Structure formats: C-alpha cells, structure tokens
Amino acid sequence: MEEYPEELRTPPVGLISLVGCPELHQMISTHLHSEKPPVNTLALPDFSKISIMAKTPKDTGASGNTQPAGILKRDWLLKHRTKMPAVATALIPADHVSGDPAQWNQLCTHLDQLKAVISPRNIKLVVVVVQASSRDDFNEDRMIALRKRAEVDFKYIITFSLNVESDLKQSLNRLGILFAELINVYYRDEGHRIKTCIEKKTYNYVELCIRYCFKVAVYAEFRRDWVEALKFYEDSYHALREMIATSTRLPARQRLVEIKTLAEQLHFKISTLLLHGGKIIEAVLWFRQHCASYRKLIGAAEVNFLHWEWMSRQFLVFAELLETSSRTVPGFPSLISLAMDKSLTEWEFQPAYYYQLASHYLKEKRSCLDLSLSMLEASYEIDGSAESVMPSIYVGQFARLLEKSDGVISMQLLTDEEFIHYAVAEGKRFQDSFEIIALLKKAFDIYSSLKATRMASHCGFHMAKEYFYTGETSKAKESFESVVHLYRHEGWVTLLWEILGYLRECSRRDGSLKEFMEYSLEMAALPVSSNAGIHSFSHREFGPAGPPSFHQREVIHKEALGLVSRGPGFTSNGDGNNLHLAESSLHLEIDLVSPLRVALLASVAFHEQLVKPGIPTLITVSLMSQLPVAVEIDALEVQFNQSECNFTILNAQKSPSIATSVNQQGYCREEIVPSLALITNKWLRLTYDVKSDRSGKLECVSIIARIGSHFTICCRAESPASMGDVPLWKFEEHGESLPIKDPPLSLSGQKAIQVEEPDLLVDVNLAASGPALVGENFVVPVTIVSKGHAVDFGELKINLVDSRGGGLVSPREYESFSTESHHVELIGISEPDGDDKSQVGSGNIRKIQHSFGLVSVPYLDNGGSWSCRIEIKWHRPKPIMLFVSLGYSPCSDDANAQKIHVHKSLQIEGKTPIIVSHRTMLPFRCDPLLLSRIKLAAADSDRPAPLPLNEASILIVSAENCSEVPLRLISMSIEHDDASESSCTVCSANDDLVDSVGPALLMPGKEYRKVFSAVPIERSQKVKMGTVCLRWKRDSESHEQSYSSSPEILTRHRLPETDVELSPLVVCLECPPCAVLGDPFTYFVKIRNETELLQEIKFSLIDSYSFVSSGPHDDTTFVLPKSEHILSYKLVPLASGMQQLPRVVATAVRYSAGFEPSTSALTIFVFPSKPAFEMGKSENGSESVFLAAE
C-alpha cells in the first residue's frame, strides 16, 4: 500500500486558494484545515502567482472525438488535489479599497487577472476585504464598485476584521462556512458536467468513459458523497474490464499492463470505500471477484512475472486494508457469522490469509522471473536501453525519453520488445525472498494469535524454506524446528519427512554431526513405505530429502551409520559436506519423549516384583528399532541405579578388541551372545539374571548400545507396563509383537524391583520395665545377641525423640543450657559390669548428647552377646521414643563391606512419681484477726490466706504417690531457699519420725503427710517458706541388694510464697485438753492487743447445756495497747464425751470484725471419771499439734 502515491491512498480534500495578504495565509489555512471536513489551502502570496491555476492550452484540445493516448493521466488526481482549487479567494486590504485611485486601479487589475484565470475552470471567486483596524471606514460606493468589478454576488464579498479577537473568530468561521458551501457547489458542478458527458455518450472511446467515471467518482469523493463515488468507481472498473478484449491502442503487452494498473487503482479505491463504510463482507466479495476476473489474464510468457507480481500486490494491499479496518471497525468477528451463508469462510476475513497468498504469488512471480531472465540472457545481453525508460504521463504506461539534438525532451512509446526488456531489468533489481519472508512472517503471527497452529506452521515452514534457499541456515533451522513438533505430534509423516529432510540438510551445512545423526535416524525410522497413496510424489517437491519411500529411508540409514562407523578424524568429502566426527565419540540420548524412540526403544522388565538380597532374579531387556536395515550392535551396556549390578552384553561376532576396551574401565560383568542384530520391527529379547546385595529399589536406568567403536546410543529404559505407543508407528497397520514373550509380564512388567531387607541375624533387645519416673535415672538394658554371624565394627546409635513430635527442650528454657532445660535427657550408657565410674574414661563411649548417644560395640563372635544399660532421666513427664540402631559389618576381614543396620525402638512414658501439696492452718484455739482475710472472704476464696506475723502457723506438706509402683520415702524436709535471710522459720513439728522408723513405704495412690510449724518473722507481701526436699526411691520387690543399689532420688518442690500480715488482735482460747465429769476447770479467753491503740471489744458468752459456767456474759471491754485482756470462766462439765464448750463471740468494734471460734476449737473431751494415766505433757497441747483425723 505504501507504494501507492499519497493522493490515491487518502481520501481527497477540498482545495481553495488564497491570493494576496500573505501574512494572513497561515492563520486562515490552519483554521480551514481543522474544519470538519478539512479544507486544504493553496496559498499564493501575490497575484503574479495565479497562473498556476491557469488551464493549459492542451486541455482544450481533448475532446471526445480523438483517440486518447491513455486512459488516465498520472498527475490528474494530484493536480486536482494540489493545484486546482475549488475557490479562489482574493484577499484585499481595506485601505486599498478605500485608498487612493492608484491603489484602486491596481486592485481592479488584479481582480481582472484572477477572473481571467479562474473562469475557464469555473473556479468560484470570493473577495475578502481585510480590515486591519476598526478605524478603517467603509466606503459603500467602493464596495459596490468592488462587487461589480469582481462580478460576484454580494455575499461572496466579506469583510474580515482583525482588530478584535471575537471578530476575528467570527470572520474565520464565516469564511469556513462560505468555503464549504462553495467547495460543495464547485465539485458538484464539475461532477455534473462530466456526468452529462457520460449520459449523452459524447465520447467514442471507452477510455474516455473510464476516465469520466473516475473523475465523477473523485469529485464525489471531494464532496464526501461515498455512495456516488463508489458507484462511479465501479462503473469505471467495469468499463475497464470490458476494454480488455476490445482495445487495440497500445501494443498488446503494455495494454494489459495499463489496464491492470488502472484496475488496481480502481479496486483499491473501491475496497477502501467499502471497508471504511464497514461493509467488510462486500469488500471481501468484491476482492474475490476482482481476483477471479484478472487471475487468468496472465499475459505473454516473457512478462508473466508481472502478472504474478500484480496478483501478489492485490493480496498484500487487501491484507493491509483489512488489517487496518479490522482494528477500527467494531464488532468485526460478529460480521463473520453473518457471512457464513454467503459461502465465505473464516480465513477470508483474516489478513493472514491474504498475506499468505500474497507470498504465494510472489513466489510464483520469482520463478517466472527466473525463467524470463534465463530465456532473455540466453538470447542476448540486456543492454542499458532500459535506463532511459520511465513512466509516461498516463497511468500504467511507460515511455522512452528521447533527448533530441536541440535539447528538447520528448517521450516515445515503447515497443513490446523494449517493454519486456525494461520490465525484466526492473524485476531483476528486487530481492523477492525478503519480501516473501516478511509476508509469511505477518501471516504466521496473525495465525498464531488466532491459534490456528497448522496454518501458522505452514507459513513457518515456507518461511524456513525461504531462509534455507537464501542460505540463512541458522534462521532456517530455527524456523523448521519451531514447526516440526506439530507434524510429529499429529503424525503427518510425509510433511514431517519433508521438514526433517530440510533439517538434516541444515545440520549437514552446519557440520553438526550429532544433529545430522538424530535427524537421519528419525527419518530412517519414519513409517513411510512406497505404496500407500503417495506414488504421485515428485522428486522436485520434496526438497533435499527426496520423496518419502522405503528406498530413501534405506539410503539415509546407510549414509548415517556409514558416517559414524568410519571412526574419528575423517572428513566426509564433496558436496559441501562438512560433517566430521570429533576426536571423542558420538553419543546420542533417547529419553521417553524423544522422537528417536522410533529408532531405538528399550523395554526392561524384571520377572519378579520382590527379591531377597543376594538372590539372583531374571531380567529381560528387549530392544526394538524401526530402522529399515538391520543394525548390528557391538555391545549393550545395561545400567542400574545400583551400579554394581551393571553388566555388558557383547556381540561375539565383533572383534574382541571392543571387549577389552570396555573392560578397561574396571571390573564389569560381561555376557557374550552370538549375535546382537536389531531387525526392523522385531524385538531383540535378552534375558539375564541380576543379583543385588543392597536392599531398596533396584531399577534399570538405561541401555547403552555401542555401534562401531565411536558411536553410542543411550536409551532410557522403559517398563513394559507403562510403555507408551511408539509415536507415528502407532497409526500404522503393522505387525506388533510383545516385548516379552510372556504376555502377562509384557502387560505388567516393571523396570524396577524391590530388594528386601536381609534377614536379621543379630537381635537387639530393649528390656524396659514400666513407665519411667521423673527424676530417677531410668535404666534401659540393651542386649545384642549375634545369631548368624559375627558383629564387627559395631556401633550403637541411641536417639531420643519426643513421641508427640515436640522437642525435648522447652523453648523458654533453651538459653539456660542447664540440665534442667531438657525435659528428657540421656544420662549415660554403662557397661554391663556396672562400673559406672569408668564411663567417661572408657574409649567405648564416643559421644553423648542430651538426646543422642553413640557407643561402639566390641567384636562379637557368632553366638556372642553384649549388653549395656542406657540411663535416661526425665525432668518433665513426657513420653519419648527411644531409637536404638546397631550398625555393623557382618565379617571382620573387610571393613568396607556393606554395613548392616538393625533398628529397634521403644516408647517410654515418663511419669511424675510424687505430687507434693501443702496447706497452712492457723494455730489451734488461737485466732488472730487478719484484716485482709475479712475482705478476702467476700472477694475470692482461692487465694491462699495470709499468715499472721510472729504467730506460729501450721504447715502441712503431703506427698502422694501417683505412680504405679510402690515408693519408699526416705526423708522429707523443708529447706530455705537462701539461708542468709530467713523471713520465716520453719521447723519440723516432730523429730524425724520417718527416719527413725526407716523409709516409709508409700503404696500407689497413698499419701504421706508431715506437719511443720511456720513462724513468719518478717512482715512482707511475699514470704518464701522454702523448698520441700523429698528423698525417695523405688521399692523393689527383690529386697536388699537392689534396694541398696537403686539410688535415692531427691524431688524438690518449692512452696509458694505467701502473704504475711500483722494481726491487730489475737484471741486465744485456753482450756485443758480434757476434762473430767463434775470436775471444775478454768476456761480463759485471752484477747491480746498488738496495736498501739485502745481497742474496744464487745463479747458475749453463749451457754452450753453440757457445762455450768461462771464468768462475764455480755459486756464491752477496752484492751490497752500492747496488753492482754483475759476473760476467765469456771466451767463444770455436766456430761461426758465430746462436748461443746460455751461459745464466746467477741467483736472488735474498731474493725467491726467478730471472732467466732470454730466448732472443733470448742470441742473438748470429758472423761466420765478421772483417767488413770499421766497427762502432764499435754498441758501445752493447745498450741502445738493438730493432726487431722484421717
């Protein structure tokens, strides 16, 4: 499209001319250009330039009666767009109008001149009087005179005022409207004038009809009357089409060229108009018709390339038009569905289709041009006469420039022969290949974006071919490779063959032997045979590989294998063959997706699924090839993931030199077979036994076939059970056989086998009893017993793992690194002799960490045993997994032999053995007033009660056995956390009762209690009472020796801190521990005031039926600061047994707190008569011990 002149490519725009006042031209033309529709301006600075618009004298000569020399002048359109204004505008300064007579006369002369120039062309005249300032006054008479002089209607004389901005704008607008109207009128009139010529048929030649129609259409386009433009372009086109058979004006060849050139122009105009009008379907149909009517007009053989070039251009231009309009026209795809019933197809709406065909015709052109060139060059040399040929004044014609002796240049029409010369010489100048590639690239891109992969691949293939023939091997290869997979995938063997042929040639040019071999082998193994429907393939069509046939496959096969069998250092000779085998050998890899699977396929199946180590099992290696000629393999290497199983199969027919060369690489098992010939489509089955000593998976990885001394193919092993079909061949009707003779095996065979663990010949026993207790060193005895063979280099690994998955170290305490930070800890491993002390010194222990240990095991003979004890300490109750693994060599003489591992594991629960709890009680029959306790009673009862300062409180510590084994308590004591500042004195109430008797046996679930008295001596919010230290041990059933051997365990339990508070008042009840019926005794209620204040106390005595009492009943008394008030009562018991003393209720008025002794404090035992035992010691019992009844 770019090669078309601008005036053809764009729609015409109306033209006016401005004369005079050049300073205003810029402004006016800018304004007009921005109008809608825009108007172009031909600006002539002064009246002397107006002759440019003048009619040339030749024009007058053209009439309907003489034979026109051509159909359409080349410059006609350009002339009308740039030189022939519709309106001529005279810009006259106002002062000239109203100025002196000389100026007026000058003005009149100019107007006359202008009128003379424009009237033959019917150009409209507008006179603009430019008012530079408002002071310019208008002379009405002069204006009328001006109008008369200009012979125009009054409305075509306008004033143009420059002084005010708004006026200026208004003037410009007025001018614009006026011009638009006049342009319309002008082009309508012109069109009308020519239309009447057509209607009256005033012409005798069809050329004129074409020309007239074209002109009418152009004039209509000026007016933006697209419908009329289209109609007349079409008329013109049809008239032109009819001319082909009738015209005799020019020599035949040039005549056709002229007609086609014009048809191209007309077609372009029509297509543009249709597409811009959104009529895509019509445009496509029109294009189809256009091509159909000109396709066959190939013309003379010598210049037929011009026809193909022309055709190619039609497609290219239409493609470009379609591409631009498909971007601009909305709803483009929906149009396609409308078109389906008009027998239009999808691709015809796609520019790619036209680009592709354009490239096709361009190729046609190139081949015709080559033919023409060779014909011409054969007859005579092309001389330089073509240089003086140039396009003539008519569209589509060429003429020779003749320079006569007098310097006058004239044009001479060419003879057909000259024209051919010229055309061929022109054609030679262009490189069509690049153009073709560019076109195909565009088509490729568009098709790819449409996901039309096959179309795109087709374009890509042609592109690659073009690259190939222009010698750009690398680009060609890239393009070929990008499309080849589609043909492989869809199994279009003939097309694949063709591409592979090119690729093979590319790699030959590149000198890449590896690729050459790959492509050669793939081609040789393609399923093509000479019969099936492809007998009509010609040799020419198929590029370098020739037509696909069995014979050709054989040729390729032999060439390829011939190359590699010749050994290193050779360079193949002749025909640009720069393939050579490098010093090292050539190695090909065939994996599961390689296209070369057709060339070599390896299926490997074990006959069993499970095997014991060291027991041989059968494996079948099956190979198949579709190569057309039988291949003799020199050696096959079968490779496993356990490399010690690898073995090599040697061909006995080959020289033993190969065998030795293989053997040099080290020890390798070798098998020799009489022949290793791979026959087309026949499985080569080889069965051998394989033995693995290592447990786990044994998998055959690959088979390496060695052909000749320097060529190997490594083929990935495939399981028959999961083997995919061989690509391409799966569509062929050919005999298929199973890789293994046994059908079930070939359906389910696997290339991998599971080698079981060897039978255990060494026992590892973990003898653990019951749950472990927190704090103790739990002992797990380990016994290793050899039952089959000796144990050497034995090594025992011990590992503790939290069986709940968490770590054995609590993260919070992780930093401290103390032993306490590990919940469970491996303490040590001791030898069976129980010599604990020798642990560290012994070389046996290599490593012990908190949760990991390693110990070496001494040499054990067959039948020998060894044991050790693992000590584990729990700091927190936590279940753990104990993993013990023994690794050893079965025989002592070979240290590198395969180690055998025996694993054992045991889950051990860690339990808390003893739960220590405590509680505090206030002293018996002594009731200190604790203010916080009063408040507390309401608030929350959970908080431990504060202890009274300086008063002895009772602390009861109990230890409950919550394990499942009986424990023996050795001692229980309370230690101060820091002895230096004892804020609270705690001492045992009774002197080591337990220790004197020996360790107390604590059965599971039972509780042991001990009473302490605690006297806080420092008033503080937080008083530490100390830590309970509990010594205990397991109570073993087998008494003395184990009893003594199991060490004591110390469990520490820190008592919580308690509040200590000074009590302002203390009320104590004092009475004897027991009474005798009828025997009077004294009962004191002592109220001690600990404050510096006078305390008012109200009290009352509630009588009891069991006693007769004397003393104060209800009263109020005052207790002096730091002194004691004693209420004393005399009581006589009236009943024996447990009796309630009379209750004394005292109320401290200051604190409004009442004292009410508990029922137990008021209980006293009354003997019926005086007992006969000594009771002296229990005199002070009220303030010492109270043991709970249970």
Select 292 or 1189, whichever has its Cβ closest to other proteins.
292
Q: Cβ of residue 476: shortest distance to other proteins, in angstroms?
A: 18
Q: Is 357 in the site for other proteins (CB under 8 A)?
A: yes
- Contact (CB, 8 A) for 70 and 209: no
Q: Cβ of residue 551: shortest distance to other proteins, in angstroms?
A: 18
Select 347 or 883, whichever has its Cβ closest to other proteins.
347
Interface with other proteins by CB under 8 A: which range of 526-534, 715-723, 902-910, 1154-1162? 526-534
Select 505 or 927, whichever has its Cβ closest to other proteins.
505
Residue from 353, 394, 480, 647 in contact with other proteins (CB under 8 A) = 353
- Tokens 């045992």, residue? 988
Running DSSP on this structure, what letter comes out for residue 64? T
Q: Cβ of residue 394: shortest distance to other proteins, in angstroms?
A: 31
Q: Cβ of residue 283: shortest distance to other proteins, in angstroms?
A: 16
What part of residues 373-392 is at the interface with other proteins (CB under 8 A)? none
Select 139 or 448, whichever has its Cβ closest to other proteins.
448
Q: Cβ of residue 725: shortest distance to other proteins, in angstroms?
A: 10
Residue from 361, 874, 1032, 1083 in contact with other proteins (CB under 8 A) = 361
- Contact (CB, 8 A) for 369 and 427: yes
Select 156 or 487, whichever has its Cβ closest to other proteins.
487
Select 161 or 350, whichever has its Cβ closest to other proteins.
350
Residue from 96, 458, 873, 1125 in contact with other proteins (CB under 8 A) = 458
Q: Is 358 in the site for other proteins (CB under 8 A)?
A: no
Q: Cβ of residue 718: shortest distance to other proteins, in angstroms?
A: 20
Q: Where are the beta strands (DSSP E) in 875-962?
A: 880-889, 900-908, 910-911, 914-921, 926-928, 947-948, 953-961
Select 179 or 315, whichever has its Cβ closest to other proteins.
315
Distance CA 657, CA 564 (A): 18
Select 282 or 364, whichever has its Cβ closest to other proteins.
364
* Sequence-separated (6 or more) residues with CB below 8 Å from residue 1070: 925, 1083, 1084, 1085, 1086, 1182
Q: Cβ of residue 541: shortest distance to other proteins, in angstroms?
A: 4
Distance CA 1057, CA 1021 (A): 9
Distances (CA, A) of 1141 to 1101, 1105, 1127: 10, 9, 14
Distance CA 819, CA 839 (A): 19
Q: Cβ of residue 450: shortest distance to other proteins, in angstroms?
A: 8
Interaction mask 50-89, other proteins, x per CB under 8 A: ----------------------------------------
- Contact (CB, 8 A) for 590 and 715: yes
Q: Which two tokens stand for residue 373?
A: 């060139």
Select 726 or 1074, whichever has its Cβ closest to other proteins.
726
Question: Cis (ω within 30 of 0) for the bond into 37?
Answer: yes
Distance CA 552, CA 546 (A): 7
What part of residues 740-759 is at the interface with other proteins (CB under 8 A)? 743-744, 747
10 Å Cβ neighbour count for 409? 8
Select 316 or 455, whichever has its Cβ closest to other proteins.
455
> Which neighbouring-strand residues pair with 1058?
1023
* Sequence-separated (6 or more) residues with CB below 8 Å from residue 792: 859, 860, 888, 889, 890, 891, 892
Q: Which helix (H) or strand (E) holds 557?
A: helix 550-565
Distance CA 236, CA 773 (A): 113
Report CA dihedral (167, 171, 173, 176) to the nearest 10 degrees.
-170
Select 267 or 789, whichever has its Cβ closest to other proteins.
267
Select 161 or 457, whichever has its Cβ closest to other proteins.
457
Q: Cβ of residue 348: shortest distance to other proteins, in angstroms?
A: 7
Q: Which two tokens stand for residue 232?
A: 């007349």
Q: How many residues contact other proteins, by CB under 8 A? A: 46
Q: What is the β-pairing status of strands 1107-1110 and 1137-1140?
A: unpaired
Q: Cβ of residue 512: shortest distance to other proteins, in angstroms?
A: 26
Q: What is the maximal distance between C-alpha atoms in the chain?
A: 180
Q: Which two tokens stand for residue 1001?
A: 């046996």
* Sequence-separated (6 or more) residues with CB below 8 Å from residue 264: 310, 313, 314, 317
Interface with other proteins by CB under 8 A: which range of 256-264, 453-461, 599-607, 1164-1172? 453-461
* Sequence-separated (6 or more) residues with CB below 8 Å from residue 870: 779, 780, 781, 782, 798, 826, 828, 829, 853, 882, 884
Residue from 112, 228, 323, 732 in contact with other proteins (CB under 8 A) = 732
Q: Cβ of residue 488: shortest distance to other proteins, in angstroms?
A: 11
Task: Return the closest-CA partner of residue 444 out of 454, 429, 433, 435.
Answer: 454
Interaction mask 312-351, other proteins, x per CB under 8 A: ---------------------x--xx--xx-x-xxxx---
Phi then psi for residue 1173, to 5 deg, are: -125, 160
Interaction mask 277-316, other proteins, x per CB under 8 A: ---------------x------------------------
What part of residues 528-557 is at the interface with other proteins (CB under 8 A)? 532-534, 536-538, 540-542
> Which neighbouring-strand residues pair with 10?
none
> Which neighbouring-strand residues pair with 1012?
955, 988
Select 318 or 422, whichever has its Cβ closest to other proteins.
318
Q: Cβ of residue 736: shortest distance to other proteins, in angstroms?
A: 9
Q: What is the β-pairing status of strands 926-928 and 1065-1070?
A: antiparallel
Q: What is the β-pairing status of strands 684-690 and 792-802?
A: unpaired
Distance CA 668, CA 666 (A): 6
Interface with other proteins by CB under 8 A: which range of 355-363, 384-392, 790-798, 1114-1122? 355-363
Select 517 or 556, whichever has its Cβ closest to other proteins.
556
Q: Which two tokens stand for residue 434?
A: 């690049």
Interface with other proteins by CB under 8 A: which range of 185-193, 527-535, 937-945, 978-986? 527-535
* Sequence-separated (6 or more) residues with CB below 8 Å from residue 1095: 1064, 1065, 1089, 1118, 1119, 1148, 1149, 1150
Residue type, 435: E
Residue from 360, 421, 706, 869 in contact with other proteins (CB under 8 A) = 360
Q: Is 608 in the site for other proteins (CB under 8 A)?
A: no
Select 528 or 1141, whichever has its Cβ closest to other proteins.
528
Select 340 or 937, whichever has its Cβ closest to other proteins.
340
Distance CA 608, CA 756 (A): 12
Select 237 or 729, whichever has its Cβ closest to other proteins.
729
Interaction mask 480-499, other proteins, x per CB under 8 A: -------x--xxxxxx--x-
Residue from 79, 169, 730, 1052 in contact with other proteins (CB under 8 A) = 730
Residues that bind other proteins (CB under 8 A): 292, 333, 336-337, 340-341, 343, 345-348, 353, 357, 360-361, 447, 452-455, 458, 461, 487, 490-495, 498, 532-534, 536-538, 540-542, 730-733, 743-744, 747
